[in-house]
Amino acid sequence: MVIDLRSDTVTKPTPAMLDAMMHAKVGDDVFGEDPSINELQTKAANLFGMEAAIFCPSGTMTNQIGIKCHTQPGDEVICDKLSHIYQYEGGGIAFNSGCSVKLLEGDRGRITGEMILNSINNRNDAHKAYSSLVSLENTANRGGGSCYDFKEFARIKKVCEENNLTLHLDGARLFNAIVAKNEDSKDYGKIFDSISVCLSKGLGAPVGSVLIGTKEFIAKAKRIRKVFGGGMRQAGYLAAAGIYALDNNIKRLEEDHRHAKFIAEALCAKDFVGHRIARPRSRVRCRALCEQSHQHARYVGAQRTAAVSVHRIDDEIGQRLADLAFDTGYGRKIRSQLCDGLNRCPAPLRHVAPTHLGERQHLTDERPDMHGGQH
Ligand SMILES: Cc1ncc(COP(=O)(O)O)c(C=O)c1O
């Protein structure tokens, strides 16, 4: 058995989801004629009590479209220094939108209204980039799945309104937060100007994200999506997976959270777990790990951002992980990325050692030419 805990993106569709995809009604979505995509977009917008939504191939694209729609070149985007939009979207904020970024030192990926207020540039100072957009992430990926307290959103919203800033949410794993904190998705629609939600993470769809906002915003987003090459044709087959995910897989994130917590607790009970969960702070860090894992579906244990490195795995934990992989019955393989201590890992986990560790890409100093060599 292969246990893969690298990410909640490695899931595969269940037979029921595949069945929904097989029977999807489709059309050409560039002409707005795909019934399944239209249904998904309406469903997503309604879930957040917002006017409209647009289906895109990835969360990177929904974020980048959101940033492009909300800004002008020369503007500044305010976000936490761990934000996915800054760390993992290939410099897209500069590349696509020509904006600079004000990085804030938040708490595990979460920033506050007060921090945002203090970071707004003086609009009358021509030396300064024009602060125009705040982007939050919930759950915060590199925060290890940390979730915002909803009251902080209200404070942030107030700062944005009073200072003419738009507010975007990278909600790649928003439903994990909503389920873990028993929140109402419609409340998010009242706070944010735009929300990006990934269907291809814990919700289990193979592809796709939705960007949600006002009708006017989404009309603009549709133009930008075309420019970014994200206009798709009979992609209703993919949207059908998204519809299935929203109908069936939100509530069951609770089950993922239970499993994540179970693994975290099992690992934390072991004194050999985690060089970064080092004693004497181990108790505190263990609690943090359990909380992170609880909030972060299928994103546990050996996952890098959970800051765990397993140096030695014994039979008991191996067996429990193996049982869990069976129990989930999710048609997915869970494969363990056991970072440093892989070679020291005894049976039964050794046979689930990740093959990809041996296949790391070569690091290169070479910088790709993004301008076709014409500059
Ligand atoms: C917080 C966050 N935002 C956005 C994305 C981008 O999603 P995608 O991989 O679909 O581009 C990810 C991907 O893991 C993510 O973790």
- From the alpha carbon of 209, which atom of ligand 1 is closest? 10
User: What fold does the segment set 14-248 form as a domain?
Assistant: Aspartate Aminotransferase; domain 2 (3.40.640)
3-state secondary structure of 333: coil
Query: What is the spatial distance between Cα 31 and Cα 331, in angstroms, rounded to a whole number?
Result: 35
pLDDT of 5 reads 82
pLDDT at 373 over 60: no
The CA-atom distances, in angstroms, between 285 and each of 84, 148, 278, 312 are 23, 19, 8, 18
DSSP 8-state symbol, 197: E
- How confident is the model over 208-224, as pLDDT tens digits? 999 999 999 999 999 99
Residue 267 Cα to ligand 1 midpoint, Å, equals: 26
pLDDT of 80 reads 98
Q: How many CB atoms lie within 10 A of CB 171?
A: 29
pLDDT of 284 reads 38
pLDDT of 276 reads 46
Residue 66 Cα to ligand 1 midpoint, Å, equals: 14
Residue 79 Cα to ligand 1 midpoint, Å, equals: 15
Q: Which residues line ligand 1 (CB under 6 A)?
A: 9, 58-60, 63, 84, 137, 141, 170, 172, 198, 200, 209
- How confident is the model over 84-113, as pLDDT tens digits? 999 999 999 999 999 999 999 999 999 999
- How confident is the model over 228-268, as pLDDT tens digits? 999 999 999 999 999 999 999 999 999 999 998 888 888 88
pLDDT of 372 reads 60
Q: In the chain, which residues fall in CATH 3.40.640.10?
A: 14-248
pLDDT of 141 reads 94
pLDDT at 21 over 90: yes
Residue 297 backbone phi and psi in degrees, to 5: -60, 140
pLDDT: which is higher, 94 or 352:
94
pLDDT at 304 over 90: no
How many angstroms from the chain centroid is the CA of residue 64?
A: 14
Residue 331 in contact with residue 241, Cβ under 8 Å? no
pLDDT: which is higher, 196 or 355:
196
Q: What is the mean pLDDT of residues 72-87?
A: 98
Long-range contacts of 40-48 (CB under 8 A, 24+ apart): 40/210, 40/239, 40/240, 40/242, 40/243, 40/246, 41/210, 43/243, 43/246, 44/197, 44/210, 44/212, 44/242, 44/246, 45/212, 47/185, 47/186, 47/246, 48/185, 48/186, 48/188, 48/189, 48/195, 48/212
Residue 316 Cα to ligand 1 midpoint, Å, equals: 33
- How confident is the model over 138-193, as pLDDT tens digits? 999 999 899 999 999 999 999 999 999 999 999 999 999 999 999 999 999 999 99
Residue 37 Cα to ligand 1 midpoint, Å, equals: 20
pLDDT of 317 reads 55
Mutate to test the pocket of ligand 1, among 7, 56, 141, 203 (most ligand atoms within 8 A of CB): 141
Residue 351 Cα to ligand 1 midpoint, Å, equals: 30
pLDDT of 147 reads 96
pLDDT of 265 reads 84
Nearest to 14 by CA among 328, 311, 336, 257: 328
Mutate to test the pocket of ligand 1, among 56, 84, 85, 304 (most ligand atoms within 8 A of CB): 84
Nearest to 48 by CA among 250, 296, 239: 250
Query: What is the spatial distance between Cα 183 and Cα 136, in angstroms, rounded to a whole number?
Result: 17
Residue 293 backbone phi and psi in degrees, to 5: -65, -35
pLDDT of 272 reads 73
pLDDT of 363 reads 57
- From the alpha carbon of 200, which atom of ligand 1 is closest? 10
Residue 269 Cα to ligand 1 midpoint, Å, equals: 31
pLDDT at 2 over 90: no
- From the alpha carbon of 60, which atom of ligand 1 is closest? 11
Residue 102 in contact with residue 119, Cβ under 8 Å? yes
Query: What is the spatial distance between Cα 40 and Cα 208, in angstroms, rounded to a whole number?
Result: 11
Residue 172 Cα to ligand 1 midpoint, Å, equals: 6
Question: What sign for the dihedral angle of Cα 268, 272, 277, 278?
Answer: positive
- How confident is the model over 269-288, as pLDDT tens digits? 877 776 443 333 333 343 44
Q: What is the mean pLDDT of residues 368-372?
A: 70
First-residue to last-residue Cα distance in the chain: 51
pLDDT of 318 reads 52
pLDDT at 299 over 60: no
Query: What is the spatial distance between Cα 295 and Cα 174, in angstroms, rounded to a whole number?
Result: 10
- From the alpha carbon of 63, which atom of ligand 1 is closest? 4
Q: Nearest residue CA, atom 8 of ligand 1?
A: 59
Q: How many CB atoms lie within 10 A of CB 318?
A: 20
- How confident is the model over 309-340, as pLDDT tens digits? 333 344 455 555 555 544 443 333 333 333 33
